[in-house]
Structure 1
Amino acid sequence: MKPSTFALPRRAALGLACAALLAGCAGPEVKDYAQEKPTLDLREYFNGPLTAQGMFTDRAGKVVKRFSVQMTGRWEGDNGTLDEHFVYSDGTTQRRVWHLKHLGEGRYTGRADDVIGEAAGQSAGNAFHWKYTLALPVDGRVWNVNLDDWMYRMDARTLLNRTAMSKFGLHLGDITLAFDKPPKD
């Protein structure tokens, strides 16, 4: 059977329509926030003591776990350390030490013991976006989950953080954090 002479254009039109639909689903880019204030410079905000309150919600939106974090950031030039101490609502504790590097033009990388490879991110205006893979202990096993992390500076003291967690492209849940930086003396 001879294919229709219109088959290729229809397939091409369908492909273009699918591509347009997927492009419409694309998320924000950090450059979208370039004009927003106050500016988020990780070297300035994550320097000194900070606290945070957060929660993990499953993919249905149910709060699974709440936590608080005490942290201290220190920078020497373009190299920083963020020492985080978590206390979870079930009484468990955790420590994560980030080793951060400012690469210039708002670009950063980061490493921590439970991060697989290297986190990479970009800041612009009041926003910072980075992605990384976390080795997450779950019921006696370790899952490597992908984190898509967005931070937004709200004012001199407050930073809001929203992270989408996924594995194999499936959305597992979200982490929401509110950071507080004590006022300068």
Structure 2
Amino acid sequence: MHLMNNWKHRLPLAALLLALAACSTPPLPATYAQELPKLDLQQYFNGTLDAHGIFQDRSGKVVKRFTVVLHASWHGDTGTLDEDFTYSDGSRQRRVWTLRKTAPGRFIGTAPDVIGQAVGEVAGNALRWQYVLALPVDGTVYHVDFEDWMFLMDDKVMLNRAAMSKFGFGLGAVTLSFSKRPQAAP
């Protein structure tokens, strides 16, 4: 009987802890405002970059590896990121982003397979992108929510972690490492 009474008192505490864990909020870009080096999106995504990445399903299993060659340029507050993907199965894909700076630290982006606009915010060394991607899987196209976090490590390297979800349920994650190629001497 004493054991049963003990559980009756602990159950409300356990329920409260679960509720608090479910209500935790993810970080905002401002969390990283003091982190260095400061990310200047127009400077970093300018020139040619190489990226290496993996896609993991929701269990954490790596289901696809890929490389990307990215050619980026800016004209004023409008940038073009031309990405060429090569996947471990030999397939290829191209995505061309158009980015536009809308305010200090704020960007919007469009691409043919992005539904609506991507919304980006830079603070400190971090960039958060949020968007919906039309993702083809086995002949069907799914609209999948992406939340990308990019962190500038130094003037050459940026790390990217993207969480994928649908209706709030995690589907998997993409992890990328970008490396900026040296600029050719004039």
| TM-score, reference length from structure 1 | 0.88
How big is the shift at 1:22? Answer: 3.9
CA distance in 1, matches of 2:89, 2:22: 40
The runs of 5 or more residues in structure 1 that have no matched partner are 1-15
Residue 130 of structure 1 pairs with residue 129 of structure 2: yes
2:141 corresponding residue in structure 1: 142
2:115 corresponding residue in structure 1: 116
2:45 corresponding residue in structure 1: 46
1:95 corresponding residue in structure 2: 94
- Letter paired with 1:151: M
1:71 corresponding residue in structure 2: 70
SS class of match (2:42) = helix
CA distance in 2, matches of 1:144, 1:164: 14
Over residues 5-28 of structure 1, what are the superposed CA-to-partner deviations in whole Å (9 max), with x where a residue is unaligned?
Answer: xxxxxxxxxxx98875444x2111
CA distance in 1, matches of 2:19, 2:40: 35
CA distance in 1, matches of 2:133, 2:18: 32
CA distance in 1, matches of 2:61, 2:72: 31
Over residues 89-128 of structure 1, what are the superposed CA-to-partner deviations in whole Å (9 max), with x where a residue is unaligned?
Answer: 0000000000000112200000000000000010000000
Over residues 48-99 of structure 1, what are the superposed CA-to-partner deviations in whole Å (9 max), with x where a residue is unaligned?
Answer: 1000000000011000000000011110110000000000000000000000
- Letter paired with 1:39: K
- Letter paired with 2:154: D
Residues 54 and 17 of structure 1: CA distance in aligned 2, closer, same or farther (over 3 Å): closer
2:79 corresponding residue in structure 1: 80
CA distance in 2, matches of 1:183, 1:72: 13
Percent identity among equivalent residues?
56
CA distance in 2, matches of 1:28, 1:21: 14
- Letter paired with 1:35: Q
- Letter paired with 1:50: L
CA distance in 2, matches of 1:122, 1:138: 29
| TM-score, reference length from structure 2 | 0.87
CA distance in 1, matches of 2:128, 2:112: 20
- Letter paired with 1:33: Y
CA distance in 2, matches of 1:58, 1:18: 25
2:35 corresponding residue in structure 1: 36
CA distance in 2, matches of 1:138, 1:18: 34
CA distance in 1, matches of 2:85, 2:18: 43
1:3 corresponding residue in structure 2: none
What is the Cα-based RMSD across aligned positions, in Å? 1.9
CA distance in 1, matches of 2:19, 2:104: 31
How big is the shift at 1:183? Answer: 2.8
CA distance in 1, matches of 2:81, 2:123: 20
